[in-house]
Amino acid sequence: MRLVVDLNRCQGYAQCAFLAPDVFTMHGEESLVYSPWADDEQREKVARAVAACPVQAITADGLDGPAEPAAAAGQGAPDAR
């Protein structure tokens, strides 16, 4: 999944670095360093980091993609038996 952090909006609260340390790290007290591409294994941690950002500076393309296709198969119209 592709990540974008609006570094003009980021205030260095470091919630993302705490929740997804393999993707986000703090360099010094206020400078965020991050990987713009995260593996699917990081999906849950990245989702928590995006949600926890107090200024909503993080966006993740592909975060809403189908992580588990079997879960989506159970949704749909009710059975008309």
Model confidence over 47-59: pLDDT tens digits?
999 999 999 999 9
Partners of 34 in beta bridges: 24
In a domain? residue 39: yes
pLDDT digits (tens, 9 = 90+) for 19-74: 999 999 999 887 999 999 999 999 999 999 999 999 999 999 987 765 544 444 44
Host domain of residue 51: 2-62
pLDDT, greater one: 72 or 80 = 80
pLDDT score at 18: 96
- Alpha-carbon distance of 6 to 59, in angstroms, equals 8
pLDDT score at 71: 41
pLDDT, greater one: 15 or 76 = 15
In a domain? residue 33: yes
In a domain? residue 19: yes
CB 10 within 8 A of CB 57: yes
In a domain? residue 12: yes
Burial call 55-67: b when 16+ CB within 10 Å, e when fewer:
eebbebeebeeee
Structurally, the chain folds into a number of domains equal to: 1
